[in-house]
A and B are shown apart, each in its own frame.
Chain A
């Protein structure tokens, strides 16, 4: 039994979430290979070769893989899928787009967002926005999985010594074309990988106040900015900051929820954080039921005060 991980990368860097997928893979199978699909992607392939627990890296490199379109990526996975017992992806926008395509072609089920490996064919996964946990057993010969990275520790980034083997690239499907990408540029750490997150809700009141109130605190703490769905829907924060079941699932060391009431949807996205701080003036806000430290206060006075205390 060998597991294959399809690497998440941007052609220059291996995405850190791949390291969590490696840990999940080592619980499924003794041998773990990584497939890098990209263009000019020898750097992420070399980074993957150093990961502890990885014994082989396959590199499929071609111009039509530059933007990792799901149609081409899935076809490439299928081309090498043959002998693997498990095919794993990090549960990112890319992974979640490609994995079901691969599973359907293999005529097997896909198991989404696994949070634990119970046995090589049995996995735990959250359902109903995290309000229940299902233990499911796959009856298929090949298990196609997406991995919720916050549920698995990252493997060691150094210490491995895998070989990098070039594999022949499948032809361009011609079905889809990449047009453009607008990735928000920010000096803040990436939300999914941040150690500290400062997150704001509807109580911030406007996009200007969201930035003016939370950004200095985030800068002071070296934190990423996050937002509740209510704040995003109200236009206070861009979509990609949304933490919750339909946004990002995060588990930082410290999550500071400012003016967030704590809808089930939001809690599903952050309740695995190590320490949760809630600042809210409503004493009955559900967020207090999951917070390690709750401060019942108006955030417009509490946050500047907090900032001042941290600067001392």
Chain B
């Protein structure tokens, strides 16, 4: 079984981004970048399937600038066998990425695609579902558990209020939630090994995909700031304030 894992290069989750004063976006100059945390979980899951003999090959894919090669090397160090970069200097929105991934799925014919449920930069939560639609294949979003059962994948999903389990015909698309697994740390020997693994570069034109943006960002602004209130000295004051000032209890 072959597993394809799309990953995105994003601002490291520890960084608090700043909005540019001219409102054109957030400041990404000299900011630490990393593999999107949900995609890292997806990669870990795929590598575990390879280690326990359920998968034979894990292919990492990224769409974006040449700098994504660095992110793909991290994926290779985590255990992917090879990588593909679809290089583009344009802003790639979820629909464009889904179309690029569809073109790669048509070429690679994986049995399963696992990717993060959302990227922590644009917070869209769309790409996996869009890819599933374009391929006309089933989807298991927000996975906290993935099992295989004769030509099907059984996915436990985190839904509002609890868990839901669905059984999907393969090939299928699964999006990883936070609690699917805890990704391993990348070790130095694996970083060295990753440098020798194959990394192929393609272009949207080669894949015959139009990646023009469909959404135009007019401006990016700071969220409204919530002013800090007061500190109360004791419980009695707190209760009095809630009853008489805020009138919420």
Give residues in A with beta carbon < 8 Å to B: 69-71, 74, 92-94, 96-105, 107-113, 122, 126-140, 173-184, 190, 192, 196, 221, 229, 238-240, 245-246, 248, 253-254, 264, 271, 274-277, 288-297, 302, 305-306, 309-310
Quick check: is B107 within 8 A (CB to CB) of the other chain?
A: no
| B140 CB to nearest A CB, Å | 8
A201 to B175, CA, bound (A): 27
Chain B contact residues: helix, strand, loop or mixed: mixed
Residues of B within 8 A of A296 (CB): 231
On whether the beta carbons of A93 and B142 are closer than 8 Å, the reply is yes
Please measure, in the bound complex, the distance between the C-alpha atom of A104 and the C-alpha atom of B128, giving whole angstroms: 11
Contact of B239 with A by CB under 8 A = yes
Do A109 and B133 contact each other (CB < 8 Å), given the known contacts A93-B158, A96-B141?
no
Asked if residues B123 and A127 are in contact (CB atoms below 8 Å), the reply is yes
Is B65 engaged at the interface, CB distance under 8 Å to the other chain?
no
The reply to whether B19 and A177 contact each other, CB–CB distance below 8 Å, is no
Distance in angstroms between the alpha carbons of A105 and B226 in the assembled complex: 40
With contacts A69-B166, A135-B219 taken as known, whether A108 is within 8 angstroms of B121 at the C-beta atoms is no
Contact, CB under 8 Å: A239 / B158: yes
User: From residue A181, how far is it (CB to closest CB) to chain B in Å?
Assistant: 5
Which residue of chain A has its CB nearest to the CB of B164?
A181
B246 within 8 A of A: yes
Which of A100, A102, A133, A302 lies in contact with B223, CB distance below 8 A?
A133
Nearest Cβ on chain A to B205's Cβ, whole angstroms: 19
A-contacting residues, B150-187, CB 8 Å: 154, 157-169, 177-179
**Nearest-neighbor residue (CB-CB) of A175 within chain B:** B138
Partner of A70, one of B129, B163, B235: B129
Q: Evaluate contact between B235 and A93: CB separation under 8 angstroms.
A: no
4 other contacts beyond A101-B130, A105-B133, with CB at 8 A cut-off? A131-B223, A175-B138, A253-B248, A288-B228
